[in-house]
Structure 1
Amino acid sequence: MPRRVLQRYLPHPETLRRQRSLRFLRHLIGNPSLWMLSRRSVANAFFVGLFSALLPIPFQMAVAALGAWGLRCNLPLSVGLVWITNPLTMPLIFYGNYRLGAWVLDLPVREAPDRLSTHWIAEQMLDILPALALGSLMAAVLAGLAGSLVIRLIWRWQVARSWKRRALRRRRCQADERA
């Protein structure tokens, strides 16, 4: 079952509660509904995490934690999924979001110069921002919905497979008892 696989990799709430740096979040971390591993809580955590990851904003992990708290979904999964956009992947993802927004708004795509500088980025930001914001929002919603749907389908498939295995085992045991 997916629950067992996820439990192997997720931290235990008590371990996090004992950390000094997270002491101010004790009430949030102590809420048991944020640590449940059910189909709904995991699927919603994927939505929140992927949605937060694809937004070009600072403090994405805080946004994911607040989203997990608001939707009562799995906190560590939603916060951990934010790391899809790490310093290595962020430029590619946000450039793709910009291209998506420019395509939707029917704007010409600005090409980066040979030598990328903060000065160039600051000059171009007002022109880039509408396309980046729209593309990021669209990609965030689509990725969140797709992630949530995929998790729900995988979870359902695993449960159905488990039921079939149990039914087969029961039939074999009954056949052995009769023989």
Structure 2
Amino acid sequence: MPKKTIKRMMPDHQTIKDNKYLKVFGNLLHNANLWHLNRHSVAKAFAIGLFFAFIPVPFQMVLAAGAAIIFHANLPLSIALVWLTNPLTMPVIFYACYLVGTLVLAQPQQEFAFEASWQWVVDSLSTIGPAFLLGCGILATVFAIIGYFGIQALWRYSVAKAWKERAQK
């Protein structure tokens, strides 16, 4: 059942409550609904986490936590899913975002060499920026929708399978 698997992988409640970046939310983190595992809260958490994983901004975890609080999604899962884009996967995922953006804008792909400097980021916003940001928005939305409905379907399938097994016993 997805609930047991997710529960095993989730971080401890106190660890998240004690996170220095999430202290901004104060007493809102004590809402018990943010910690429950049910089909709706987990599906919303997947949508939120996957959405913010594709948004290229700092403090994605804080944004995901804020959205989880607003939409009453499972908070630990929302935050954990943001780490889909980590230092190892980020180049591949963001390059895919750029490719999707060039495809949608019907622009030719431009050659570029990444530099870890603020000046490169500012200069790139006018050249590859529009395609990259559009691709990020598109993939964020697509994966959020897939995540939401995929979890809904997986959860329903799992419950129906468990009912069927109980009926056979």
TM-score normalised by structure 1 residue count: 0.84
Larger radius of gyration: 1
Identity of aligned residues (%): 42
- 1:20-169 → structure 2 map (5 Å cutoff): 21=20, 25-113=25-113, 116-117=114-115, 118=117, 121-169=121-169
Q: Could you report, residue by residue, the CA deviation over 1:95-138 in whole angstroms, capped at 9, with x for unpaired residues? A: 1101111110111111134xx43465543331111111111000
Give 1:55 shift: 0.8
Could you say what the CA RMSD is over the residues aligned between the two structures, in angstroms? 1.9
Partner deviation per Cα, 1:20-67 (whole Å, 9 max, x = no partner): 746554413211111111101101100000000001111111111111
User: C-alpha separation between the residues in 2 aligned to 1:35 and 1:99?
Assistant: 37
Q: CA deviation at 1:159?
A: 0.1
In structure 2, stretches of 5+ residues that fail to align are: none
The one-letter amino acid of 1:75's match is L
Count residues with an aligned counterpart.
166
Q: Distance in 1 between matches of 2:19 and 2:44?
A: 29
TM-score normalised over the length of structure 2: 0.89
Conserved 8 A contact 1:13-1:29: no
Give distance in 2, aligned partners of 1:20 and 1:46: 21
Quickly say closer, same or farther: Cα 1:8–1:20, change in 2 above 3 A.
closer
- Structure 1: how far apart are the matches of 2:24 and 2:43? 27
Per-residue CA shift, 1:62-97, capped at 9, x if unaligned? 111111011100000011000010111111111110
1:85 match: secondary structure: coil
Given that 1:13 and 1:30 are in contact with CA atoms closer than 8 Å, whether structure 2 keeps it comes out as no
* Unmatched runs of 5 consecutive residues or more in structure 1: 170-179
Letter matched to residue 27 of structure 1: N
